[in-house]
């Protein structure tokens, strides 16, 4: 039998070492979802922070809440299971405008006057986002559909007014720097063909992968209906099923 030369043996040894190292560095990517089903909902069907806890946690994320006991009002984040799509007005601010919601739990965002309300992962980690599901709040949707004492009917009397209502989803890294945003229209009446005008009335998946890895997120609203004090459209959005990737080393 021929002897193996030293170069050949060294090559085989290097290949085996590389394979062993490569296996030790194999990773597993898991998709996780913040779906709010781990929250306990009061008998009212919603939680608005009246317990003065100041926040709630679902999955790996923390959602801030500011509750004013003097006026029984709140801002930032609440959560609910309600889906009354018929009752107009502020009293129905805890309902998602999706008749097929069927009692699943979702969060509601209403902006704070003091600045952005960030919802963030519980640690300094950054995660690759995949998507989120958004829908109109019923108070907002019916205000845009029919108008009310403070906000105009989208499209106006003729239906031709180019109205719109949108939310920007802004991503931040662990250092607190903005790294991008995704724009989503909750209502759009800018089409030349009025039959294409819409108000979002079902849970809609929004792709967030372009944001890359983030540690926290914020929402900002925009609308064609603006007055002396800012946006007239009731500025709410319902959110559910935030999906992101977690990468871990294989055992």
Nearest to residue 247, comparing CAs of 103, 126, 131? 126
Q: Using CA of residue 79, residue 84, residue 85, residue 88, what is the dihedral sign?
A: negative
| Domain range summary for the chain, segments of one domain joined by + | 27-249
As given in the structure block, the two tokens for residue 227 are: 């007055």
pLDDT band at 115 (very low <50, low <70, confident <90, very high): confident
As given in the structure block, the two tokens for residue 103 are: 């009692």
Nearest to residue 39, comparing CAs of 21, 61, 13? 61
CA distances to 64, 127, 140, 143, 179 from 121, rounded to whole Å, are 12, 9, 28, 33, 16
Q: What is the largest CA-CA distance in the chain?
A: 97
CB of 78 closer than 8 Å to CB of 139: no
What is the per-residue pLDDT across 178-200, written as a single tens digit (0 to 9) for each?
999 999 999 999 999 999 999 99
Query: Which residues touch 236 (CB under 8 Å, ≥6 apart)?
Result: 93, 108, 109, 110, 136, 137, 139, 140
Look at residue 41 and tell me whether its pLDDT is greater than 80. Answer: yes
Question: Which pTM was predicted?
Answer: 0.88
Look at residue 10 and tell me whether its pLDDT is greater than 70. Answer: no
Look at residue 2 and tell me whether its pLDDT is greater than 80. Answer: no
CB of 227 closer than 8 Å to CB of 233: no
Q: For residues 17 and 38, which has the higher predicted lDDT (pLDDT)?
A: 38
As given in the structure block, the two tokens for residue 190 are: 């800018």
Look at residue 20 and tell me whether its pLDDT is greater than 50. Answer: no
Look at residue 19 and tell me whether its pLDDT is greater than 50. Answer: no
CA within 13 Å, CB half, 12: 6
Nearest to residue 238, comparing CAs of 123, 104, 129? 104
Q: Options 3.40.50.12240, 3.90.1010.10, 2.60.120.1350, 1.10.150.120; which CATH number does 27-249 get?
A: 2.60.120.1350
Q: For residues 206 and 248, which has the higher predicted lDDT (pLDDT)?
A: 206
pLDDT of 123 reads: 84
CB of 128 closer than 8 Å to CB of 226: no
H or E segment and range at residue 132: strand 127-135
**Mean pLDDT of the region 167-185:** 97
What are 226's strand-pairing partners? 231
CA distances to 63, 89, 103, 196, 222 from 99, rounded to whole Å, are 25, 17, 10, 21, 25
Q: For residues 104 and 102, which has the higher predicted lDDT (pLDDT)?
A: 104
The mean pLDDT value of the chain amounts to 91
C-alpha–C-alpha distance, residues 75 and 117, integer Å: 9
């Amino acid at each position: 039998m021929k002897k193996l030369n030293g170069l050949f043996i060294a090559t085989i040894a290097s290949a085996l070492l590389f394979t062993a190292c490569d296996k030790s560095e194999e990773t597993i990517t898991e998709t996780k979802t913040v779906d709010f089903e781990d929250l306990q909902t009061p008998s009212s069907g919603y939680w608005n922070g009246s317990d003065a806890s100041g926040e709630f946690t679902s999955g790996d994320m923390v959602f801030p809440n500011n509750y004013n006991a003097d006026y029984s009002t709140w801002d930032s984040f609440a959560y609910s299971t309600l889906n009354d799509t018929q009752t107009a007005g502020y009293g129905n601010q805890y309902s998602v405008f999706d008749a097929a919601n069927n009692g699943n739990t979702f969060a509601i965002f209403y902006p704070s006057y003091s600045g952005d309300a960030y919802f963030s992962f519980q640690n300094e980690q950054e995660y690759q986002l995949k998507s989120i599901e958004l829908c109109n709040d019923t108070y907002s949707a019916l205000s845009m559909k029919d108008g009310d004492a403070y906000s105009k009917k989208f499209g106006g009397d003729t239906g031709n007014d180019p109205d719109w209502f949108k939310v920007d989803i802004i991503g931040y890294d662990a250092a607190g720097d903005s790294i991008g945003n995704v724009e989503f229209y909750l209502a759009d009446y800018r089409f030349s063909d009025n039959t294409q005008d819409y108000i979002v009335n079902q849970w809609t998946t929004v792709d967030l992968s372009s944001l890359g890895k983030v540690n926290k997120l914020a929402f900002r609203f925009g609308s064609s209906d603006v007055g002396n004090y800012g946006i007239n459209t009731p500025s709410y959005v319902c959110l559910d099923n935030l999906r992101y990737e977690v990468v871990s080393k294989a055992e």
